[in-house]
Amino acid sequence: MTAQGRVVPAPADARAEDGRALVIRRLVKEYRPGQPVLRGIDLVVPSTGLTAIIGPSGTGKSTLIRCVNRLVQPTSGEILFRGEDLTKLSGAALRRARRRIGMVFQEYNLVERLSVMENLLCGRLGYVPVWRAWLRRFPEPDIARAFALLDAVGLPGFATRRADALSGGQRQRVGIARAIMQEPEIILADEPTSSLDPKSSVEVMEILSRLAAERGVPVVVNIHNVALARRFASRIVGMSGGHVVYDGPPEGLGEGDLRGIYGGESWLE
């Protein structure tokens, strides 16, 4: 650690073998040949806690998240999830891996014409036969869990409301509950507060961190709001120019680190 509190990330191979949910090694993504967005990312996500990824727009935060769940295909590198390289999976093997990865989207990604309950039960689609999903005949334990999660995210009595009738904060709560319905081994959240007002942003982060902690599920969240990252994360990863330039505790993130991540001086004043 430097005098500014900066922590230089160690290569993934050098870190402790125990307690790792996700190991990313030498990850590169190019949307255009010779113009990498991710430039050899090495990162380890522990099996518990909330990891916040901060950095300016265009630095690769969302691309990193989307490479993990394979919404984006990496150009090269490894993404080891519980010891299995996600970059090498396809077909049924990839679908099985995705069942264990909960995703919370910036724009909610709900089915607008369906009810809140039906959106929550979409989190079980990877676990039930196709005919049950088609007929919307989900097992009673799944329905009971969905009602319990609605209570947990502060939406009791919302089961029959259509998703398009909800506010932004309410939609994001449904998105979090749907991700938990998967019984995931990790949760990825891509800018879950960027479309919300300050009060709703805090509430969503509180719900996300609390539910994940109660279930012992690690969370990786991309977030622009540095104050929220400091408040809720157990670890902060700062990205700039497709590289990891800070990896450490929130209390170690100083002004010098923020200048290195975002550049400039005036925005800190």
Q: How many CB atoms lie within 10 A of CB 64?
A: 29
Q: Residue 253 is encoded by which pair of tokens?
A: 């993130």
Query: What is the predicted pLDDT for the residue at 131?
Result: 55
pLDDT digits (tens, 9 = 90+) for 65-96: 999 999 999 999 999 998 899 999 999 899 88
pLDDT digits (tens, 9 = 90+) for 150-198: 999 999 999 999 999 999 999 999 999 999 999 999 999 999 999 899 9
pLDDT digits (tens, 9 = 90+) for 27-50: 999 999 999 999 999 999 999 999
Nearest to 204 by CA among 189, 215, 214, 182: 189
Q: Are strands 76-81 and 50-54 parallel, antiparallel or unpaired?
A: unpaired
Distances (CA, A) of 161 to 16, 117, 171, 188: 46, 8, 11, 26
Break the chain into its structural domains and give their ranges.
109-183
Q: Residue 4 is encoded by which pair of tokens?
A: 């500014």
Beta bridge partners of 188: 103, 220
Q: Token match 């879950």: residue?
A: 192
Distance CA 263, CA 221 (A): 22
Distances (CA, A) of 65 to 84, 106, 186: 17, 12, 12
Indicate the pTM of the whole model.
0.87
Please tell me the number of Cα atoms within 13 Å of 72 on its side-chain side: 19
Length of the chain as a residue count: 269
